[in-house]
Structure 1
């Protein structure tokens, strides 16, 4: 788990989880499979979304392109807000 971004509006955390190696025959030379994604928390709406697969890759590519332009916090928040519109899960503290 790695905190990537934390503003007044959003928090973005990257998760890298061990993949399911049962589907692949072990050859001794294969690197360990990994999977993961990004959890985005909308602090004002108190909702979160977990992006994985193609959606996570799209998020990553978009953030990398945005970083090349030295964006302001507002520009980063606007980009992240496009993904949080899909958020359905309420944030619950344990």
Structure 2
């Protein structure tokens, strides 16, 4: 688990779960991103193709220069809007 981003609006955490293929096969990584919307108090976990799309979008923002916090938050908001799971504190 790696916290990638933390702003006043969002937290993004990357999860990588190594899974071993057959004894002689290569090791694969499986994981995704958890996005927490602090204001809406909702979260979403994305994986697979959606996680890849998210990661590529973030990389494109970075390649275009140094994005502002507002630009990053605007991008993350597109994914966070899909969140339905309420954030619950234990």
TM-score range, shorter chain: over 0.9
Runs (5+) with no aligned partner, structure 2: none
Superposition map of 1:18-57 within 5 A: 18-19=18-19, 21=20, 24-27=21-24, 30-57=25-52
Superposition map of 1:6-85 within 5 A: 6-19=6-19, 21=20, 24-27=21-24, 30-69=25-64, 70-85=66-81
- Name the structure where strand makes up a greater proportion of residues: 2
Q: Which has the larger radius of gyration?
A: 1
Give the structure-1-normalised TM-score. 0.89
Q: 1:74 and 1:33 mapped to 2: Cα distance?
A: 34
Q: 2:81 and 2:31 mapped to 1: Cα distance?
A: 21
Runs (5+) with no aligned partner, structure 1: none
Query: Over the residues paired in the alignment, what is the CA RMSD in angstroms?
Result: 1.1
Give the structure-2-normalised TM-score. 0.93
Q: How many pairs were matched up?
A: 89
